[in-house]
Amino acid sequence: MQDFGPRPTPHPANTTPAQYKVLRTVAALGGRDIRHADIAKTLGGHPNAVRPHLEALVSAQLLSAGEIRDGHRGRPPRIYHVTSKGHAALSQHTAAGNGALVGALTAFMLTSGHGPEDAHRVGRIWGDALEDSPHSPTNDGDATPISRSTPAADAPTQAVTRVVDVMDSLGFEPDLQAVESGHTVTLKACPMLELAQQNPEFICRIHEGLIAGVMEREGTPAQVHLHPFATQTACQVHITPQRQL
């Protein structure tokens, strides 16, 4: 059993495929104060067909609901927004799919003569290709904010902040600290922990490359060093933008 390192990312919330589609739609529409009618219109269904899924998500605390008090007679329109638990569920679904794909890719590399540098290159391609997540966590009142020690005032800091957002959306539960030589990102959870324990030279190198790819995509190439199982509770990533070298 691994004594050091991050904990596994929790399994996805127990939602049906239809409920998950509704949750993802609310997040894609902005995640806050989304009208029932707009959700139904986006999904292409009747509002009455969407309502049971919305209420099930509210009961599961993945969405919260309110009403618009506009002074008009009749029942006020219902609005919904994604809770921190809902954002976590979206991240966990993403993490589960990514874990299966990375596991298959690692098995291929292990049996076809590829090495850790190839894994790193795969990660860079992945990071460079990532689109902005439609369900990045927001401060909805019940979420624990990501720890950022400095404001995103310059390009390198903005790029590192983007790394934190990406890693959070993938289920790594990152914390960011500024250090003299750049930034340190602590990864408190891992959606691929079992795979990483078995093949850290591949899985962790993919994640290292992923972070480097995100930095490049943001216009700030950097030296990235991921230290697997660096502490009893986390992995650590040191990011040094090249302009600081």
Q: Summarize the confidence of residues 155-175 as an average pLDDT.
A: 88
Q: Summarize the confidence of residues 21-50 as an average pLDDT.
A: 90
The better pLDDT of the pair 202, 90 is held by: 202
Query: Between the CA of residue 184 and those of 46, 116, 205, 225, what are the distances in Å?
Result: 48, 22, 17, 10
Q: Indicate if 94-244 has the same CATH topology as 17-84.
A: no
User: Percent of the chain at pLDDT above 90?
Assistant: 42
Residue 235 phi/psi, 5-degree rounding, is -95, 160
- Whether the pLDDT of residue 168 is over 60: the answer is yes
How does pLDDT run across 63-77, given as a tens digit for each residue? 999 987 766 666 788
Q: Summarize the confidence of residues 14-32 as an average pLDDT.
A: 86
The better pLDDT of the pair 17, 1 is held by: 17
Give the pLDDT band (50/70/90) at residue 56: very high
The CATH number fitting domain 17-84, selected from 1.10.10.10, 3.20.20.450, 2.40.10.500, 2.60.40.10 = 1.10.10.10
How does pLDDT run across 192-213, given as a tens digit for each residue? 888 899 999 999 999 999 999 9
pLDDT of residue 205: 95
Of the ranges 122-131, 133-142, 147-156, which is most confident? 122-131
Q: Summarize the confidence of residues 164-185 as an average pLDDT.
A: 87
Give the pLDDT band (50/70/90) at residue 131: low
Coil, strand or helix: which one is 46?
coil
How does pLDDT run across 226-235, given as a tens digit for each residue? 999 999 999 9
Task: Report the alpha-carbon angle 124-146-233, nearest 5.
Answer: 75
Q: Summarize the confidence of residues 125-152 as an average pLDDT.
A: 52
For residue 82, what are the β-bridge partners?
Answer: 63
C-alpha torsion angle, residues 16, 86, 226, 230 (rounded to 10): -100
How far apart are the C-alpha atoms of 213 and 121, rounded to whole Å? Answer: 9
Average pLDDT, the chain: 82
How far apart are the C-alpha atoms of 65 and 22, rounded to whole Å? Answer: 14
Sign of the C-alpha dihedral computed for residues 114, 119, 120 and 124 taken in this order: positive
Taking the CB of residue 218, how many other CB atoms lie within 10 A of it?
A: 20
Nearest to 136 by CA among 161, 102, 101, 154: 161
How far apart are the C-alpha atoms of 96 and 47, rounded to whole Å? Answer: 30
Give the pLDDT band (50/70/90) at residue 245: very low
Domain boundaries, the chain: 17-84, 94-244
Q: State in words which class domain 94-244 has.
A: alpha beta
pLDDT of residue 15: 80
Coil, strand or helix: which one is 186?
strand
Sign of the C-alpha dihedral computed for residues 169, 170, 175 and 178 taken in this order: negative
- Residue pair 228/235 in contact (Cβ under 8 Å)? The answer is yes
